[in-house]
Structure 1
């Protein structure tokens, strides 16, 4: 039998905090509506021709998913279970006909216990706990990661040889792209190792920001490298003597290029079938991008040789370089904004406000909800108003429980809850924020 202590112990909370969280969760406000009934079904959504109308309903469905995620977290807590023990994704299953339905044939100990306790239909919660999907064995996940790394090295060496042998700038751009795949894998590997080495004295809130920092380093390297390819390609295109140089693309070189595309395609499809690893899913996306990139970098030199127009090859390299630079500049700027404290989206704030609104009947008002990025996830500050006569112990327990519940949200890194007895006051920290960078 699984006890409440075991269910919530994975959060690292003290026994008193776990008991307080489970107890306060019984006093939440009921959901204002059954959000699942308000969703636009996918088949109806596909029939909408008006682009703006379709985007409206897609956004509405996304917000319904966010609100249902909050409902699901609170439903787990009312059952004295840890939401994160069911995987990282808490998004509700909106494909089912009923919000209380669950996949058949997969029953956990908690589900069995709930059924045994004889929950009646009228007491049925709005959302039942999501069940784990069957994950791929760890050795297959590790094999996919290692094999992808080896293939990237082999493809880089192959393309580098073909680029110097044929003189193709498009193949050289593709070789750079393969090299940067190897480099990105190495950066991710070492970044994860650094993050896992915890030091609560030197890094009291962890090292999670090392990951976006690693992405920034990689983005700078990749944009710099492709800028050099772009400059070299423009020089070749504008130099008449170099632009007319014939490419030497032998059948063997062509076969190697095609084999690279096929190999990447196989890895792409294989990684898509692997479940339970975000790293492998990221690799699958990378392999899919590589397939498109390799096809483009092969077509340009082939057309240049077939049509007797060698100038097409540097044109292809220029287009590929501009595409890669533009894509990674977007990634670079996004991560810089997040590391420098960019505000959360309006949808994020709505979701967090809904959590604070529903959390306890003791909360008289939600005064302020402030959220901003500290890396990939959010730092959240919530000000709630409690009755002036609320005992200190009860007020503390409500604030601490709300903080713990907010930190269970998938997009929240840390949360701080400020308790007040009135909403009539100045905005907190405004003086400090306005003084930053300008002295005192």
Structure 2
């Protein structure tokens, strides 16, 4: 099993445990903050399950229906996760407003504190593990999952602090006010996940520094006369590169292929942590101006 899939299994298991703990205490104590955290953990469980099946589908080989594979399932999963976080945040915000309007004091504060301490420790270990996997694999789904649980870690810490303040001050309005703050932070955290996923779904180019690395490599190749029409896109853990390479008009097709093969190998070395797909058009002369005219520019 790939490390990414193992990470989703771990996060799913942890989310299931947290849901059971928080939901029980949230319902009996009447705490909006704890209940909000329980709902968030329930969504974590659903999203982690979805991520597992998304990664499982994304790694399938191309077939007659999907000639380029299913790599876009990864950014799609990230976008869905971002929207799930946002909608759950809106629900938490609504519940917090409702509690302010119809005031009701919390109960079982001591039990709530114990559960949130355990939740904070468990989530901290999970975030450290997911960050390790995300850094090692560069997988967008795991990166989104790590960020999601990181927001949980901050919210758990804030809820724990609020419960302690309530137990010392007796001011129960701290609970819904904190719930509103958590909701706003969750939406703020979801925005970059949605943005990055949408850019991948729209075939946006990789980061400028990655494109610059490709251009720098092409610029120093002595076996070619130049290049043009460099196009790149990123989809999950896959990078697609298309470029027209200009050879001497007298070169044999065999030699041009050998040079192209070596160039492909060098391009793949630039992105060892990703699946790199390269399409090199071998031109016997620079036809870039002709391509511009044909494209209608």
Return the TM-score normalized by structure 1: 0.58
Which digits, 9 at most, give the CA deviation of each residue in 1:252-293, with x for residues without a partner?
2322222222333345567778899648x8577665553322
Secondary structure, aligned partner of 1:372? strand
Verify: 1:357 aligned to 2:216, yes or no. no
Q: Is the 8 A contact 1:349 1:369 kept in 2?
A: no
Q: CA deviation at 1:218?
A: 2.1
Match of 1:201 among 48, 64, 88: 64
Secondary structure, aligned partner of 1:384? strand
Q: CA deviation at 1:199?
A: 4.5
Aligned residue number for residue 112 of structure 2: 253
Aligned residue number for residue 73 of structure 1: none
Note the residue ranges of structure 1 that are not aligned, 5 or more in a row. Answer: 1-137, 435-440
Q: CA deviation at 1:336?
A: 0.7
Q: CA deviation at 1:190?
A: 0.8
Q: Which whole-Å CA distance do the structure 2 matches of 1:345 and 1:433 have between them?
A: 28
Change in 2 beyond 3 A, CA 1:369/1:146: closer
Q: Which whole-Å CA distance do the structure 2 matches of 1:247 and 1:393 have between them?
A: 78
Change in 2 beyond 3 A, CA 1:364/1:432: closer
Match of 1:332 among 187, 194, 204: 194
Change in 2 beyond 3 A, CA 1:328/1:376: farther
Q: Which whole-Å CA distance do the structure 1 matches of 2:214 and 2:249 have between them?
A: 24
After TM superposition, the structure 1 = structure 2 runs for residues 55-204 of structure 1, keeping only pairs within 5 Å, are: 146-204=9-67
Secondary structure, aligned partner of 2:244? strand
Secondary structure, aligned partner of 1:317? helix
Secondary structure, aligned partner of 2:54? helix
Change in 2 beyond 3 A, CA 1:144/1:189: closer
After TM superposition, the structure 1 = structure 2 runs for residues 372-411 of structure 1, keeping only pairs within 5 Å, are: 372-410=233-271, 411=274
After TM superposition, the structure 1 = structure 2 runs for residues 428-439 of structure 1, keeping only pairs within 5 Å, are: 428=291
Change in 2 beyond 3 A, CA 1:333/1:148: closer
Q: Is the 8 A contact 1:173 1:317 kept in 2?
A: yes
Verify: 1:296 aligned to 2:155, yes or no. no
Q: Which whole-Å CA distance do the structure 1 matches of 2:292 and 2:165 have between them?
A: 62
Which digits, 9 at most, give the CA deviation of each residue in 1:272-324, with x for residues without a partner?
78899648x85776655533221112222332343232222111111111111
Q: CA deviation at 1:161?
A: 1.6
Q: Is the 8 A contact 1:370 1:380 kept in 2?
A: yes
Aligned residue number for residue 11 of structure 1: none
Q: CA deviation at 1:191?
A: 1.2
Change in 2 beyond 3 A, CA 1:320/1:431: farther
Q: Which whole-Å CA distance do the structure 2 matches of 1:373 and 1:321 have between them?
A: 31
Aligned residue number for residue 122 of structure 2: 263
Q: Which whole-Å CA distance do the structure 2 matches of 1:178 and 1:429 have between them?
A: 53
After TM superposition, the structure 1 = structure 2 runs for residues 29-40 of structure 1, keeping only pairs within 5 Å, are: none
Q: Which whole-Å CA distance do the structure 1 matches of 2:227 and 2:257 have between them?
A: 16
Counting matched residue pairs gives: 292
Q: Is the 8 A contact 2:229 2:288 kept in 1?
A: no
Q: Which whole-Å CA distance do the structure 2 matches of 1:393 and 1:221 have between them?
A: 53
Secondary structure, aligned partner of 2:217? helix
Root-mean-square deviation (CA), in Å?
Answer: 3.4
Secondary structure, aligned partner of 1:228? helix
Change in 2 beyond 3 A, CA 1:221/1:432: farther
Change in 2 beyond 3 A, CA 1:286/1:150: same
Q: CA deviation at 1:427?
A: 6.6
Change in 2 beyond 3 A, CA 1:395/1:271: closer
Secondary structure, aligned partner of 2:289? coil
Task: From the CA coordinates, give the structure whose radius of gyration is larger.
Answer: 1
Which digits, 9 at most, give the CA deviation of each residue in 1:60-110, with x for residues without a partner?
xxxxxxxxxxxxxxxxxxxxxxxxxxxxxxxxxxxxxxxxxxxxxxxxxxx
Q: Which whole-Å CA distance do the structure 1 matches of 2:281 and 2:53 have between them?
A: 37
Q: CA deviation at 1:340?
A: 0.5
Change in 2 beyond 3 A, CA 1:270/1:364: closer
Q: Which whole-Å CA distance do the structure 2 matches of 1:414 and 1:251 have between them?
A: 56
Q: Is the 8 A contact 1:159 1:172 kept in 2?
A: yes
Q: Is the 8 A contact 1:153 1:182 kept in 2?
A: yes
Aligned residue number for residue 342 of structure 1: 204
